Structure 1
Amino acid sequence: MKVSYLVIAAATTVSMVSCVSSKKFKAEQSKVAELTAKSGQLQNDLKGCEDAKAEEARKRAGLESEIAGLNKQLEFLKENNTTALKQLQDMSVISSAQAESIKKSMENLGLKDAYIQDLQTQMAKKDSLNMALVMNLKGAIGNMEDEDINVKVDKGVVYVDISDKLLFKSGSFAITPRAEEVLGKVATVLKNQPDIEFMVEGHTDNNAIRGNIGTIKDNWDLSVMRATSVVRILQKKYGLDPAKMAAAGRGEYKPLEDNASAAGKAANRRTRIVILPQLDQFYKLLERK
């Protein structure tokens, strides 16, 4: 009888150990799956950054090629002018005043050369700042679905596109709590760049406004109200300088996709944050000409 009790006790102990081990194994399997998913997302983000960097490198290479061509033309003109001036002076064909005029023209060519070099430096600096800003925005936003939020550089301008399904309910301009969280992450990056100015653009699909939504009469009104809602949150909740922001409504007139399909309409319903280029730096360069 005692032997039976011992056998039953031993079997119970083995069963409990097996159960505990199985639970731990499943928990570890779940952790591995979660880490694998996060790794895949990070790899996708890295690829997107690398693609953007490659595109910017291609554009900069084109500009550098154009600048190199201008530099060659400049050197050619310098050599020709120097030779012509010396020949004319030796032959006593031109007056001293004419020779001085040609000399000043050559000095102006030197100033043009310095101007081109200055422009090249400014373009390289701007490209670097834009890439750093894109990396910071992607890092702050984290693991978001591509259809909900997209950060990119196009023709030297940084864009942050946020889908309206994330920001607003249908036909509304009231920002959702989830959207406030995302805008807070974007605001953190922008706040660390106090010289940056940006515009918030509201975009809609081509569906007409139905019913009575407060004072909203059409998609112009809706797009403007959504843009001002975002600006107001960035100012009042996250402390961004209102003097650095602007709000604009684009209505349905700047679509990304064809409104003929539901997917196209969804892509067109978006809010875009446009990081404005600092043109004053280039105006200062132009004033030196």
Structure 2
Amino acid sequence: MKKNFMFVAIAAGLLLSSCASKKDLVNCQTENKQLTTSLQSAREDLAARTARVQSLEEQLAAQKAALAEQKKQMAKLQNSLDKSLTNASQNNVSIEKLVDQINESNQYIRHLVEVKSKSDSLNLVLQNNLTRSLSKEELKEVDVQVLKGVVYISLADNMLYKSGSYEINDRAAQTLEKIAKIITDYKDYDVLIEGNTDDVPISKQNIRNNWDLSCLRASSVVQCLQTKYGVDPKRLTAGGRGQYNPLQSNDTEVGRQRNRRTQIIITPKLDEFMELIGEAPETK
């Protein structure tokens, strides 16, 4: 009897120990899953922040290059003027005629500068209005810049879409609403939505490859701007460039993060821009 009691006691102890061990194992597995999710989220956030810093550095470099190009053009104009004066002196050309030619050329140059300044000013105002409307958190994932008279709004894919999908997620709604308001306010601009991916292959139902994914994502944004926020569809164009327009190498997570993006490209309507420029003066 005593032996049986001891056997039951030992069995009960082992059973309780087994239950406790199983419970500890489940707790460890749950904690490990949570830590893995947090680590992945931290990695994606770090990649996005690093990509943002690199984008700002590229903007600064582009502005410096543009300034250097302007100085170069001014030097060319000055050199051309010096040559004209030298030729006039050597060939006894009428000073009055030369002055007229110089004045006409200067007038045309001023005209072009005024047109470019007007276009740049409008685009800078558009850029500033959009940037001011976005929150600090949104600016971490939205890159706004003006390059050669065109406004580029670049949005990270993890902000816009569900992972590996072209469906727009809920957190993108507020940002797209602000962008749609700016687009609606500037009626003289056309809008191109351009999808871009990294080079990691994708194979899902109804999505054959990255070409499909980039086009479907651009189309989703276009339809969202039209149906939810009332942007005139005649101003919108959707296009996809797949993996073939990378900003950086796809060999790193940061590079892939930068390449997975959707760009909203806002440009002045071509016919109105040409009317601003007008015709060039005849060459004499």
Pick the TM interval, shorter chain: 0.5 to 0.7
Give, in whole Å, the separation in 2 of the partners of 1:80 and 1:171: 66
| C-alpha contact 1:56 1:127 (8 A) present in aligned 2 | no
- 1:109 offset after TM fit, Å? 4.7
SS in 2 for 1:184: helix
State the secondary structure of the residue aligned to 2:204.
coil
> Are residues 1:287 and 2:267 paired?
no
Amino acid at match of 2:177: G
Instruction: Give the distance between the partners of 2:77 and 2:189, measured in 1 at CA.
Output: 32
CA distance in 1, matches of 2:203, 2:93: 77
Is 2:214 aligned against 1:223? yes
Of residues 101, 121, 124, the one that matches 1:128 is 121
Identity of aligned residues (%): 36
| Contact 2:188–2:268 (CA under 8 A) maintained in structure 1 | no
Equivalent positions of 1:110-259 (< 5 A) are 110-212=103-205, 214=206, 216-259=207-250
1:31-51: CA deviation from partner (whole Å, max 9, x where unpaired): xxxxxxxxxxxxxxxxx99x9
Task: Note if contact 2:149-2:267 (Cα within 8 Å) is conserved in structure 1.
Answer: no
Q: 1:58 to 1:264 in 2, by over 3 A?
A: closer
Alpha carbons of structure 1 residues 222 and 129: separation in structure 2 relative to 1, 3 Å: same
Deviation (angstroms), 1:75: 6.8
Q: Is the 8 A contact 2:157 2:262 kept in 1?
A: yes
Q: For residues 124 and 53 of structure 1, do their structure 2 counterparts lie closer, same or farther at Cα, with a shift above 3 Å needed?
A: farther
Is structure 2 residue 77 aligned with structure 1 residue 70?
Answer: yes
TM-fit CA distance, 1:118 = 0.5
- Runs of 4+ aligned structure 1 residues displaced above 6 Å come to 51-55
Distance 1:193 1:145, change over 3 A: closer
Structure 2 length-normalised TM: 0.67
RMSD: 3.3
Q: Distance in 2 between matches of 1:235 and 1:78?
A: 58
Q: How many residues end up aligned between the 2 structures?
A: 225
Distance 2:84 2:133 in 1: 51
Pairwise CA distance, 1:78: 5.9
Contact 2:196 2:261 in 1 (8 A): yes
Paired letter, 1:128: S
Q: Matched residues in 2 for 1:210 and 1:53: separation?
A: 38
Deviation at 1:145, TM superposition (A): 5.0
Instruction: Name stretches of at least 5 consecutive residues in structure 2 with no aligned partner.
Output: 1-54
Once the two structures are TM-superposed, the CA of residue 259 in structure 1 deviates from its matched residue by 1.6
Give CA-to-partner distance per residue, 1:228-279, whole Å, 9 cap, x none: 1101111121111222221110101111222223332222211111122554
CA contact (8 A) 1:81 1:106 kept: no
Matched letter for residue 134 of structure 1: Q
Q: Deviations over 1:152-175 (max 9, x none)?
A: 223332211111111111221111
Retained in 1: the 8 A contact 2:115–2:277? no
- The Cα offsets for residues 56-86 of structure 1, whole Å up to 9 and x where unpaired, read as 5873574266246425634752685487235
SS in 2 for 1:231: helix
1:167 maps to a residue whose letter is L
Quick check: 1:84 aligned with 2:92? Answer: yes
What is the CA-CA distance between 1:193 and the residue it aligns to?
0.8
1:259–1:52: structure 2 CA closer, same or farther, 3 Å change rule? Answer: closer
Match among 276, 279, 285 for residue 267 of structure 2: 276
Give, in whole Å, the separation in 1 of the partners of 2:86 and 2:275: 31
**CA distance change for structure 1 residues 211 and 278 in 2, over 3 Å: closer, same or farther?**
closer
Q: Is the 8 A contact 2:194 2:238 kept in 1?
A: yes
Following TM superposition, by how much is the alpha carbon of 1:149 offset from its aligned partner in structure 2, in angstroms? Answer: 1.4
| Counterpart residue identity of residue 93, structure 2 | L
Q: In the TM superposition, what whole-angstrom CA distance separates every residue of 1:75-127 from its partner, at most 9, and x where no partner exists?
A: 7526854872359xxxxxxxxxxxxxx95x87555432211111111222222
2:44 corresponds to which residue? none
